[in-house]
Structure 1
Amino acid sequence: MNKQFKKALPQWVATVGVLSLALVLATACTDPKKTEQGAARGKGQKIKATATIGMISDIVGKVGGAHVEVTGIMKSGVDPHLYKASQGDMRKLDEADVIFYNGLHLEGKMQDILEKISKQKPVIPVSKNIAQNQLRAASPEMGSEYDPHIWFDVQNWMSAVETVRDELSELDATHAKDYKANAEAYLAELRELDDYTREQIASIPQAQRVLVTAHDAFGYFGDAYQIEVRGLQGMSTESEAGSQDVTKLRDYLVEHKIKAIFLESSVPRKAIDAVIQGAEQQGHTLKVGGELYSDAMGAEGTEDGTYIGMVKHNVNTIVKALK
């Protein structure tokens, strides 16, 4: 071995060592499942997306179109505040390429699970790009700084659509143009929905423009469309309404001669019935104005089982009862 070779040997060994280490790290950091999913999409298979609530499933389906297979976790009538993931849900989350959820602690009992999964795959809160000044403060029991019921302001939900569009485009750049076109078409429908909601609520006489519901889910709706909102419970349904809550709401309704109170599809009506009975004892007749969709949409496959159909059902029910 000549002197020149011996002199260069340490540097050569070091270089080979660095390259070998980099190769090992690259191999270790590559998620075999993600590699497999990427290859599958290259062969024309759809992206597998899982969404927590129906309203988000609807967005992902509209924006994803033919390129995305959407699996929802919570069905019609399910309360997301109280929902606990089942083994079947865990399988759906595990098999997904991307997961979309509301955030702002709506899915409170699933929060830890979603955070753990986010270390392995994209887990996206659709609320993440809504401007902070557009968010309402949460009630103390929510465990969150902000009210999570963002979909009741249609303009907030338009931001969620844009977030889904951008995330799908990043995950599947090949079909980014399709995601953009689908999103633009859906956003145009949502602009019309926003205008419709505004016009219909404005047709209710100001003195009668009071929406009373089982829990305080409609705050964004009230702020956006100028209708006073009163909820028997707070923003979360984890704690039941107490006798003081019932008495306080009853007295308000009697004093202001409010004629209608509304049920919610995902909240038991027991407490609302107590308010109605209490008002009757005070000589004031309260009618049930109808059932609204709050934290869940209607049955899958129906018009009310879409976000636009859900909002229109609520608006039409409110206007019919209060106007």
Structure 2
Amino acid sequence: MRVQSSLRLTSRVQRLLFMILIVGSLAVMSACGGSPNASPSESGKIKVTTTVGMITDVVKHIGGEHVEVTGLMKAGVDPHLYKASQGDIAKLDKADIIFYNGLHLEGKMVEIFEKMAKKKTTVAVSDNIPHNTLRSGAQNGMDTEYDPHIWFNVKHWMKAAESIRDTLVQHDPNHAEDYRKNADAYLKQLQQLDEEVAQKVKTIPEKSRVLVTAHDAFGYFGDAYGLKVMGLQGISTASEAGTKDVTDLRDFLVENKIKAVFIESSVPRKAIDAVIGGAKEKGHMMQIGGELFSDAMGEEGTPEGTYIGMVRHNVDTIVNALK
């Protein structure tokens, strides 16, 4: 009798534990299914992490409502010198797709992108631009094969936009039509921008089409739209301007009676101020023609916080100072 009683008690305990386990599991499943904090992947959006703001802006235009975009580098940030934080690594690790410029723009992050590419879609938007159309980096004394500032030739940036479109279509074919439609509309805007920039630059007297900036970021702009571009520093801001660089540029400006030079939002102006001061000592007065956006866009929510707005700001500032 005692044995049977013990067996019945054990059986009741087992059934009770089993019911508790079932009820607990259902509660957890219900909570997960109705949680308002579901991740973007669960809500159907693609998590995209980008580096520079110019890329972030294009992904937002083409991805539209189907993507959630996180940009690592904000207004005023220099990508040449940027080092990824642990928080950045986490954002890259959680992303479904990573877009970066390439051509060693984000020079201190190359190894990170190589590691990420082994486990997720990681795309350099410059990869589909024919190399024979890229500017050499070696000519500017840099250790990079090509000049990475491709966005200053709007036609190059159209190629970058196409790369972003194609990547999204391949990754998310269910929304391919939306990505193509968004891209077509945005590419038309870029085509109009390219024509607009060319026409505005033509209003500058030919002898005055000399653009002098803190570092050599505007080479593609000069090649595409017909300006002579001179940067005090090289392609990368990691290289510092020496005394001879300042003296040589000062002498050129004095000799050619250049009236304006330009500072950049992401580069300290100390060296440019030295050039202006040196020219003044030689009796030639120059002015700061304005601040240009080179490696970073303007603040989010402003016209300059978009790629198209940034380009328009730059060309209007240059034209107004040099005309």
TM-score tier after normalising by the smaller chain length:
0.7 to 0.9
What is the one-letter code of the residue matched to 1:322? L
**Is the CA contact 1:63–1:182 (under 8 Å) kept in the aligned structure 2?**
yes
**C-alpha spacing 1:41/1:86, structure 2 compared with 1 (3 Å):** closer
Q: Give per-residue Cα distances to partners, 1:62-92, cap 9 Å, x unaligned.
A: 0000000000000000000000001111111
Q: Distance in 1 between matches of 2:156 and 2:171?
A: 23
Partner of 2:164: 164
What is the one-letter code of the residue matched to 2:177? K
Matched length: 284
**C-alpha spacing 1:141/1:295, structure 2 compared with 1 (3 Å):** same
Residue 138 in structure 1 maps to residue 137 in structure 2: yes
Tell me, which stretches of 5 or more residues in structure 1 are unaligned? Answer: 1-39
Q: Give per-residue Cα distances to partners, 1:210-247, cap 9 Å, x unaligned.
A: 00000000000000000110000000000211100000
Partner of 1:250: 250
Secondary structure of residue in 2 paired with 1:175: helix
Q: CA deviation at 1:42?
A: 8.3
Q: Give per-residue Cα distances to partners, 1:249-308, cap 9 Å, x unaligned.
A: 000000000000000000000000000000000000010000000000000111100000
Q: CA deviation at 1:132?
A: 1.3
Partner of 1:102: 101
**C-alpha spacing 1:302/1:257, structure 2 compared with 1 (3 Å):** same
Q: CA deviation at 1:43?
A: 5.7
Secondary structure of residue in 1 paired with 2:179: helix
**C-alpha spacing 1:82/1:41, structure 2 compared with 1 (3 Å):** closer
Partner of 2:51: 52
What is the one-letter code of the residue matched to 1:293? F
Partner of 2:86: 87
Partner of 1:315: 315
Q: CA deviation at 1:103?
A: 0.2
Which is higher, the Rg of structure 1 or of structure 2? 2
**C-alpha spacing 1:229/1:304, structure 2 compared with 1 (3 Å):** same
Q: TM-score, normalised by structure 2?
A: 0.86
Q: CA deviation at 1:143?
A: 3.0
Q: Distance in 1 between matches of 2:141 and 2:221?
A: 20
Q: TM-score, normalised by structure 1?
A: 0.86
RMSD after superposition: 1.2
Partner of 2:290: 290
Secondary structure of residue in 2 paired with 1:262: strand
Q: Distance in 2 between matches of 1:297 and 1:247?
A: 30
User: Pairwise mapping of residues 1-40 of structure 1 onto structure 2 (< 5 A)?
Assistant: none
Secondary structure of residue in 2 paired with 1:263: strand
What is the one-letter code of the residue matched to 1:71? T
**C-alpha spacing 1:42/1:83, structure 2 compared with 1 (3 Å):** closer
**Is the CA contact 2:40–2:68 (under 8 Å) kept in the aligned structure 1?**
no
Q: Distance in 2 between matches of 1:165 and 1:240?
A: 37
Secondary structure of residue in 2 paired with 1:191: helix
Q: Distance in 2 between matches of 1:98 and 1:206?
A: 45
**C-alpha spacing 1:134/1:175, structure 2 compared with 1 (3 Å):** same
**Is the CA contact 1:260–1:286 (under 8 Å) kept in the aligned structure 2?**
yes
What is the one-letter code of the residue matched to 2:173? A
Partner of 2:14: none
Residue 213 in structure 1 maps to residue 213 in structure 2: yes
**C-alpha spacing 1:75/1:43, structure 2 compared with 1 (3 Å):** closer
Secondary structure of residue in 1 paired with 2:126: coil
**Is the CA contact 1:105–1:143 (under 8 Å) kept in the aligned structure 2?**
no
Q: CA deviation at 1:142?
A: 3.7
Partner of 2:196: 196
